[in-house]
Copies of this chain bind each other. A is one copy, B any other.
Amino acid sequence: MTSSRPSTREAIRAAAAELFPAGGYAGTSVRDIAAAAGVDAALIIRHFGSKEALFLEIMQLDEEAQPLLDGPIDQLGEHFIEYVLNAGDEVRGIFLALVRASDSDGVAPRLREVHDTAFVAPLRSRLTGPDAEVRARLAASLVGGLLYSMWVVGDEELLAADRTDIVRRYGALLQALVTP
């Protein structure tokens, strides 16, 4: 609002959003971000306070990234897996960067938060029954496990496999937690 040139701050944000997931938190220096953004390194600290503050400001999910869960309950499993596989680089990048930087005290709570809002809460909202809480969290484990093996581990055979087959098979497992 007070800025006369909004481009600088946005350029830093855009560069950070690209470099942090690619190179990791420790592997991405403030100077790297500054160079990619075409600005001076000092401006990053001046605008965001610290490297970690910038990281945490970028690595969060806005409301729009929440998956739609309007569909029929008996297809929730497949639909959610399909969403996770297609949900674009943004969610995947945030997930990846947070997981790999989660040994830092500052980012560990953020990973919990993103995991909760992206996986647990949407599933929890549509589950019923006495064990809904545990089932929702196991469901979130299952979903996170797919992201883990494909993008953290980088399982080549899984990445090369037929996506509709994965959606069908893995979605059926998720469905078993949703409607036991």
Contact = CB atoms under 8 A, between A and B. Distances in A.
A73 to B, nearest CB: 18
- Interface of chain A: mostly helix, strand, loop or mixed: helix
Interface in A22-60: 23-24, 26-27
A76 to B, nearest CB: 15
A63 interface: no
B158 A141 contact: yes
B24 A103 contact: yes
A155 interface: yes
User: How many of chain A's residues touch chain B, expressed as a range?
Assistant: 35 or more
Contact of A142 (B26, B108, B142, B155): B142
A27 B106 CA distance: 13
Given A26-B103, A144-B148, 20 more contacts: A24-B104, A100-B101, A102-B152, A111-B153, A112-B155, A115-B155, A120-B155, A133-B157, A134-B161, A135-B169, A137-B155, A137-B157, A141-B146, A141-B150, A141-B170, A142-B142, A144-B145, A145-B149, A148-B148, A172-B176
